[in-house]
Structure 1
Amino acid sequence: MSYKIPESVLVVIHTPDLQVLLLERADRPGFWQSVTGSLDAVDEPLAGTAAREVAEETGIVASEHVLTDWHHTIEYEIYPQWRHRYAPGVTRNTEHWFGLCVARPLEPKLAPREHLQWQWLPWEQAAERCFSRSNAEAVRQLAWRVAPCGAA
């Protein structure tokens, strides 16, 4: 078994009018989140990780929309139920935040091993729905972080 790299991305997928796509975790029903995922290799570019994770989890092709690196990084303690995925003794993860603006709500093609269902919500409701405090904070920051996006 190879261990996950304790460095990841969080991608808030949103529309220009600040509707946010949330996904329900398959391994934790009732836990709603944005797209997240770890680097596949220590030298994988962060934007590449963000685009790959969006495609894997939703089928959305980031290059067809506006992917923005928010240049915001947080470090958090890995939830105990997921620590077995990391090397022994690894308890913290560094997460980099991105936004992906799509022109309108899209119907994602979920990776069934990762997510059960999806929903688009206004940003305020999406922030309330996120199980992770950091994900909720990223969604709350959306309004002032959003760059103009006229995605096709």
Structure 2
Amino acid sequence: MDKFIYQKVTDFKPEDLAELLAQSTAEGFRHINRLINDYITGINRFHNEDEALFECRLHNRVIGICGLNRDPYSEEVIGRVRRLYVLKEFRRYGIGRRLTEEVINTAKSHYRKLVLRTDNPNASEFYKALGFKEVMDDEKVTHYLELII
């Protein structure tokens, strides 16, 4: 397999995510569409010092993405993992893990805790394998990770 390039997104171009958008929508996921719409409308541009959007590219093709935001649902200073998605043909190569690790490493400089929400059982197992703990009875959070600063 060719070398994957992981980088922080500094020049967001919605057209770069066309393939991710098409595939995620076909799979019944809305989060890549939300990522693009929120960026275009200015709702979420991952532009604060404690936020970031990471991508994985192969031959200038975006094959995975994952972001970090301040948790908008908490009054505490907590980070939130956002919009993780990897194209099907590239799953099981560690791309999702690496993108999430980029988010975790960035979050450690700003937050004591990371949270996320997923209703996908496979994603739940993925996050638990990365050390996240499950949360019960919270409509905004299904998993959290305590960070050591």
Give TM class, smaller chain.
under 0.3
Q: TM-score, normalised by structure 1?
A: 0.25
**Structure in which a larger fraction of residues adopt strand:** 1
- Which gives a bigger RCO, structure 1 or 2 (Cα 8 Å, sep 6+)? 1
Q: TM-score, normalised by structure 2?
A: 0.25
